[in-house]
Amino acid sequence: MKAKVKDIINIMNHLAPKKFAESWDNPGLQIGNPDREIETVLTALDVTVDVVKKAVEKKAGMIITHHPLLFKPLKCIDMTTEKGKIIELLISNNITAFAAHTNLDTAQNGVNDALVNILNLKKCTGMVPGYVHDIYKLVIETEEKNRNSMQKEFSFEKNSEVEKNLKNYVKFEICGNKEYILDLKEKISEKYENVNFECYEMKFSGKQEMMGRIGYLEHEMTGREALEYIKEKLKLPVMKFAGDVNKTVKCIGVLGGSGSGFAKYAQKGGADLYLTADLKYHDAQDIAGSGLLVADGGHFYTENVIVEPLAEILQKECNRLKYDVKIEAYKDGKDIFGYII
């Protein structure tokens, strides 16, 4: 069946919920019409003029990037500027721009999982504490005759407790996140009469999402060997690092993009080497001084790894939902920096 932009957005919001994003971030719809039908989607790291031209060539009605096009508020749109040209191209070609940024850094199968997969790290765990899921309880009291149909229709028997009282009423107690609980309450209210509800937030916290990953190499390496291994796997033109290259490396912490401020979490998790990007001189000095070998893999190289896996994940989900949509990855992305070696 045909799909609309909002259908793809729903998939993305399931894969990388906006609530996982940092407070300063701007993920989600950047430009476009959620009700427009689309046949092709292009994934990329950034929305650039070249990416939009490729989307036009591919007849893609939507571009999904990691970096938001509209990160800072716009005071004007000057079509002679790079960003102005991009916005003009998007609008004139009816192309929607959507971004999943720090929420995709945290999400399962996101940027950092793509990194550990390329490096073939094992026994991976989360590194930096992130979003904590809220837990709510909904108490439903209804007539006994509604019990079986209600359980079957709303499929909450696995996370509910049932109590039958002497008035031929049955009481359900269901736990879940706020969105699930409120949606469930609304749907039951529409379908059933004579139902009493009580809803409240639980005092304990739910599952905590984690940004970054810590994993283990298949076998120990020296620091220099590990750096060379990362350079080869990420196809880096140069490897920038700080610390002791003669130390033994077995455990590696990774955080794609700018992550110098999270080195302490890598060290706390037992990492021998920390891979991130955008290291500053004094930050690298402090990290190396703490005994942790730190590698700057470059912003582009540590995040562009998500572009193809994201396209694959989206394609599988579209196929499962029977959407007639083709998802393609932009494979011509290049680091903004050049190197003279």
CA gap 122, 1 in Å, rounded: 39
- pLDDT given for residue 198 in this prediction: 84
- The per-residue pLDDT for 163 is 53
> Is 67 marked as a binding-site residue?
yes
Which residues are registered as beta bridge partners of 122? 216
At which residue do the structure tokens 């004094």 appear? 282
Residue 105 Cα to chain centre, angstroms: 5
Quick check: 39 and 325 in contact, CB under 8 A?
Answer: yes
Which pLDDT does position 144 carry in this prediction? 80
Q: Is 303 annotated as a binding residue?
A: yes
The percentage of the chain sitting over the pLDDT mark of 90, rounded to a whole number, equals 75
Consecutive 10-residue runs of the chain (341 residues): their mean pLDDT? 96 96 96 97 98 98 98 91 96 98 97 98 96 83 80 60 60 80 84 83 77 98 99 97 98 97 97 98 97 98 98 97 98 95 81
CA 206 – CA 149 distance, rounded (Å): 29
pLDDT at residue 158 in the model = 45
Closest CA to 222 of 236, 201, 241: 241
- State the Cα–Cα distance between residues 87 and 9, nearest whole angstrom: 20
Domains of the chain: 5-100+303-329 (3.40.1390.30), 111-130+210-297 (3.40.1390.30), 134-202 (3.30.70.120)
Q: What's residue 159's pLDDT?
A: 47
CA–CA gap between residue 87 and residue 48 (Å, rounded): 10
Size (the chain), residues = 341
Are 218 and 120 a contacting pair, CB within 8 Å?
A: yes
pLDDT at 171: 81
Tell whether residue 101 is among the known ligand binding residues: no
Is 324 within any annotated ligand binding site? Answer: no
pLDDT of residue 145: 79
Which residues lie across from 308 on neighbouring strands?
none
Which residues are CB-neighbours of 181 under 8 A, at least 6 positions away? 136, 137, 138, 174, 199
Which positions ≥6 away from 248 have C-beta within 8 Å? 220, 221, 222, 223, 272
3-state secondary structure the chain: CCEEHHHHHHHHHHHCCHHHCCCCCCCEEEECCCCCEECEEEEECCCCHHHHHHHHHHCCCEEEECCCCCCCCCCCCCCCCHHHHHHHHHHHCCCEEEECCHHHHHCCCCHHHHHHHHHCCEEEEEEEEEEECCCEEEEEEEEHHHHHHHHHHHCCHHHEEEEECCCCEEEEEEEECHHHHHHHHHHHHHHCCCCEEEEEECCCCCCEEEEEEEEEEEEEEEHHHHHHHHHHHHCCCCCEEECCCCCEEEEEEEEEEECHHHHHHHHHCCCCEEEEECCCHHHHHHHHHCCCEEEECCHHHHHHHHHHHHHHHHHHHHHHCCCCCEEEECCCCCCCCCCCC
